[in-house]
Amino acid sequence: MSLDKLKKKFIRGNKKAFDTIYKDYSAAMFTICLRYTKNHDKAADILQEAFIKIYQKRELFNPEYDLGGWIKRIVINEAINLYRSEKKFEFVEDDSYFESEEEEFIIEEEGINLKKVLQEILNDLPDGYRTVFTMYVFDNLKHQEIADYLNVSINTSKTQLSKARRLIKLKLEEKNITRSTVLNG
């Protein structure tokens, strides 16, 4: 079935179309859910709640737009809502934040399973750092959007991102993984 036909059937509430969409998108969306929580069960709960909302709001979807992007936005919102309700992290206002140069990370997976190491480091970050880092780096949200979602100031978003980057860099250095290690493989 073509994507256009699938979108139209989904909007009309066709169960088979919804099942196909779930099958096609759930694994990628589960990965997004895991970025927001360290717990597989909570990630599964977020995913389930998100897909319930996706089905409930299907009539609001415009078939001229990207289905994956629309689904991703709902999943991200659901993950953020869980954190808001649990109030699992505290943000610290820091007026001394300064914008640092953006670093480019080039990943070569020779000898080191860098993806696994990075995932472990992300999981070890404090919840606030991890959430802002995930929203900024993986979900491509701007600081204003992050601030709006999390009900914090833009400065807090920037500070949390800066601290997350510093902590990630420190943890990579502790594992003897540096920019030159990654670039030179």
Q: What is the pLDDT, as a whole number, of residue 82? A: 81
Would you state the pLDDT for residue 98? Answer: 39
**Would you state the pLDDT for residue 182?**
57
pTM of the model: 0.61
CATH topology of domain 3-86: Rna Polymerase Sigma Factor; Chain: A (1.10.1740)
Backbone angles phi, psi at 15, to 5 degrees: -65, -40
Q: Does residue 172 surpass a pLDDT of 70?
A: yes
**Topology (CATH) of 114-184:** Arc Repressor Mutant, subunit A (1.10.10)
Domain ranges of the chain: 3-86, 114-184
Distance CA 138, CA 26 (A): 17
Q: What are the pLDDT digits (tens) for 121-161?
A: 888 888 889 889 988 988 888 999 888 888 889 999 999 99
Rounded mean pLDDT, 25-31:
93
Amino acid making up residue 9? K
Q: Terminal CA-to-CA distance of the chain, rounded, Å?
A: 44
Q: Do 138 and 35 contact (CB within 8 A), yes or no?
A: yes
DSSP 104: P
- DSSP, collapsed to helix, strand or coil, labels residue 122 as helix
Burial of 81 (0-12, 13-18, 19+ CB in 10 A): middle
Q: Quote the CA–CA distance of 140 and 146 in Å, as a whole number.
A: 10
Mean pLDDT of the chain: 82
Query: What pLDDT, on a 0 to 100 scale, did the predictor assign at position 109?
Result: 43
88-111 pLDDT tens trace: 544 544 444 334 443 434 444 445
